[in-house]
Structure 1
Amino acid sequence: MTQLEALRREFEKEAITTRKMLTQVPTDKFNWQPHPKSMTIKRLAAHIAELPTWIGMVFNTDELDFENNPYQVEDVNTTAELLAYFEKSVEDGRKHLKDGKEEVLDKPWTLRSGSTIFSIDPKRDVLRMAFSQVIHHRAQLGVYLRLLNIPIPGSYGPSADEL
């Protein structure tokens, strides 16, 4: 199995789990946040929904410079819009994983803000980091949902709500 085949397989499995979690986000709680320093559930869920688009960014660029690319989260206003955005992002990620070339995976990719460099890693590692970001933020979303007493779907087996 090639590296890209393994990434495609993992991507599809994680998309199923992510979709289940995003489905649980209630529109009427979009402005809720567990702490003033935390993202709102809307911002967190929209960020999770956009992360599959990072695959194309990694394949098509050699860096992300926050100074020249200010972050703007997608403005979704309902759970249905959130899920539609996620599906669009998944299609984008799927396309780039399908069309991607193995030889590109060794090329360096830089994360920076102007002259401050945070990391320079092979694109393969940056793709793995993007997948890890989904898992990380999905776990945060699980905490948010638990605090709101909303059932949490299982990720790698059943959740306590499914037993």
Structure 2
Amino acid sequence: MFLTIDGFVKAWEFESTSTQKMLDVLTDESLKQSVKPNDRTLGGIAWHIVTALQGIMGQTGLTFDAPSHHASVPTTANEIADTYRQASQSLIKAIKTQWTDETLTESCNMFGQFEWAKGFSLSILINHQIHHRGQMTILMRQANLIVPGVYGPAKEEWSQMGMEAPAIL
């Protein structure tokens, strides 16, 4: 749970940059990649990350410019990446102008099921992105995309550092 706006902003800067790096690698063709028919596609997961910003934080009463979870999945990877970039910036601006550190301890009803402190909702938002980025990496590999490293180098990035990638066990 975040107890300060500054603490969240610092964490968000890292995590949203990591998400943006992954979204920027997507291609229009890769958006159709899925594990099996009738499963969420790579484009669907990427778009879900974008719309979850409003879907989760809208529950707290925060108002900012981001698409709703009802918005249709775009047909281009650039639109998904650009929309995330804009919505992420709008989210940060809204938190900085509408909330204070004290606001983070206020409780709000989430989805008619939970009572969460706003600072906890921010933690869930970040964890939600991390969860779906993990799903995206598998589909990105299946779509023959190079997955960018997030918490360490991806296998393709080792050679750029002049090192050999660790053995796959």
TM-score, normalising length: structure 2? 0.78
CA distance in 1, matches of 2:116, 2:28: 38
One-letter amino acid of the structure 1 residue matched with residue 127 of structure 2 = S
One-letter amino acid of the structure 2 residue matched with residue 141 of structure 1 = M
Give the drift of 1:96.
1.8
Q: Secondary structure at the match of 2:113?
A: strand
Task: Within 5 Å, give how 1:116-155 maps onto structure 2.
Answer: 117-155=112-150
Which residue number in structure 1 is paired with residue 7 of structure 2?
6
Q: Which runs of 5+ in 2 are unaligned?
A: 63-67, 159-169
CA distance in 2, matches of 1:27, 1:108: 40
Q: Does 1:47 align with 2:42?
A: no
Answer whether contact 2:57 2:121 (CA < 8 A) is retained: no
C-alpha spacing 1:154/1:91, structure 2 compared with 1 (3 Å): same
C-alpha spacing 1:96/1:56, structure 2 compared with 1 (3 Å): farther
CA distance in 2, matches of 1:74, 1:4: 31
CA distance in 2, matches of 1:28, 1:101: 42
C-alpha spacing 1:31/1:143, structure 2 compared with 1 (3 Å): same
Cα deviations across residues 33-70 of structure 1 (Å, max 9, x unaligned)? 11235311111111122344457525426xxxxxxxx9
CA RMSD of superposed structures (Å): 2.3
CA distance in 2, matches of 1:55, 1:121: 11
Q: Secondary structure at the match of 1:30?
A: helix
Which residue number in structure 2 is paired with residue 106 of structure 1?
105
Corresponding residue to 1:159 among 154, 157, 169: 154
Task: Within 5 Å, give how 1:3-82 maps onto structure 2.
Answer: 3-36=4-37, 38-53=39-54, 56-60=57-61, 71-82=69-80
Answer whether contact 1:22 1:45 (CA < 8 A) is retained: yes
One-letter amino acid of the structure 2 residue matched with residue 158 of structure 1 = P
Q: Which runs of 5+ in 1 are unaligned?
A: 62-69
TM-score, normalising length: structure 1? 0.81
C-alpha spacing 1:119/1:35, structure 2 compared with 1 (3 Å): farther
- Please say which of residues 37-46 and 10-19 is displaced more in the overlay: 37-46
Give the drift of 1:118.
3.1
User: What fraction of aligned residue pairs are identical, expressed as a percent?
Assistant: 22
Give the drift of 1:8.
0.4
